[in-house]
Amino acid sequence: MRRFWWRCEAALVRGLLALSGWLGPLRASNLGGAVARALGPRLPVSRIGRRNLELAFPGSEAAWRESVLRDAWENLGRTAMEMPHVPRLLRSAEGPGWEITGEENLPRRGAGILLSAHLANWEILLRAAAESGIRMGGFYRAPDNPFVDAIVRRMRQEGADIQLFPKGSKGARLGLRLLADGGVLGLLGDQKLNEGLEVPFLGIPAMTSPAAAELALRFDCPVVLVQVLRIGPCRFRLRVEPPLPMPGEGDRHARLLAITRAMNERIGEWVRERPGEWLWLHRRFPARYYRGEGGRGEGRAPS
């Protein structure tokens, strides 16, 4: 029976992807954004988004937070319907596609870490880096449905030399092998990890994965932050920043903490710059903040 439902889910996914392909990148993006903007704020998960916005922007007005939440849902809907078009997006000056600034900062000599966040359409990061001539790999959370996993995996790798590693021990070994062979690993650094380090994010203590810092120290390689911005339907700009400074003093834990803190600070600045493009819908902060316990973050209201 489980395999039957898996096949039904896979058929639904294929149907949505076919609809997106038939619509084309602009109309698909606009449709996904409109539907998600209208329906998303009504869903129970939006309570998490509202709480996150209260914590990050304690001085803001409720109307502003609702506007940001609608923008975030719109961005998520656009991202979902853009997925089948991402493999065919090219570097271009206008229209569907992507552009890049700071390309000289990309790690081209030996191992490196490209670090980004769930901003705009994060699916474009590995694709654009690979198109820029970098041997790329990245982790992904495999769906429970193996048929859906196969569909999404083929789509993400279509037409580009991108290695994808499922999260877990096997994927970790493959990622380490890529770095050992001089490849570049793409990571998203804005998710909660209960076993991580507690460092501030948006002014609030947050358990954060030290993976980027651990790999940088292990392989003596740069951590390069890449901000993805949405500048239109199915159109993006990637800002490649200079490598994070690596602390030269202190024990290993202190160095891990310093790198992870710097990473969170920079990603937090991106979120404050364009809050409507971040994924506010996951429990990023400790559980006590979602039970009404503890203080509020040290965020500031937007100007």
212 contact partners, CB below 8 Å, separation of at least 6: 113, 115, 187, 189, 223, 259, 260, 263
- Domain holding 90, by residue range, is 2-290
Q: Regarding beta strands 192-201 and 184-188, do their DSSP bridges make them parallel or antiparallel, or are they unpaired?
A: unpaired
78: left (phi over 0), alpha (psi -120 to 50) or beta: alpha
Pairing of strands 97-101, 235-240: parallel
- In angstroms, the Cα distances linking 59 to 17, 275, 298 are 41, 15, 10
DSSP bridge pairs for 188: 116
pLDDT string in tens for the chain (303-residue length): 788 888 888 899 899 889 999 999 999 999 999 999 999 999 999 999 999 999 999 999 999 999 999 999 999 999 999 999 999 999 999 999 999 999 999 998 899 999 999 999 999 999 999 888 899 999 888 788 888 888 888 888 887 788 888 888 888 899 999 999 999 999 999 989 888 999 999 999 999 999 999 999 999 999 999 999 999 999 999 999 999 999 877 789 999 999 999 999 999 999 999 999 999 999 999 999 997 544 444 333 343
Among 226, 227, 279, smallest CA distance to 75 is for: 279
How many H helices and E strands in the chain? 9, 9
Asked whether residue 107 is domain-assigned, the answer is yes
Residue 185 lies in a domain: yes
3-state secondary structure 186-239: EEECCCEEEEEEEEEECCEEEEECCHHHHHHHHHCCCEEEEEEEEEECCEEEEE
Number of domains in the chain: 1
- State the Cα–Cα distance between residues 7 and 242, nearest whole angstrom: 45
In a domain, 298, yes or no: no
Q: Own/partner pairs for 244-252, CB < 8 Å, 24+ apart? A: 244/216, 246/216, 246/217, 246/222, 252/217
Residue 236 lies in a domain: yes
> Cβ of 289: how many Cβ atoms within 10 Å?
21
pTM of the model: 0.91
Structure tokens at 40: 């998303």
Residue 297 lies in a domain: no
Produce one character per residue of 144-170: b if its CB has 16 or more CB atoms within 10 Å, e if not: ebebbbebbeebbbeeeebbbbeeeee
pLDDT per residue as tens digits for the range 94-118: 999 999 999 999 998 899 999 999 9
Edge-to-edge strand list for the sheet holding 112-116: 97-101, 235-240, 223-232, 112-116, 184-188, 136-140, 162-166
Question: Has residue 54 been placed in a domain?
Answer: yes
Angstrom distance (rounded) from CA 236 to CA 229:
6
Beta strands in 117-170 (DSSP E): 136-140, 162-166
Q: Which amino acid is at 278?
A: W
In a domain, 159, yes or no: yes
Domain of 106: which CATH number? 3.40.1130
Return the structure tokens found at 140.
């992904």
**Domain assignment present for 302:** no
The DSSP bridge pattern shows strands 112-116 and 184-188 to be parallel
Separation CA 157–CA 228 (nearest Å): 19
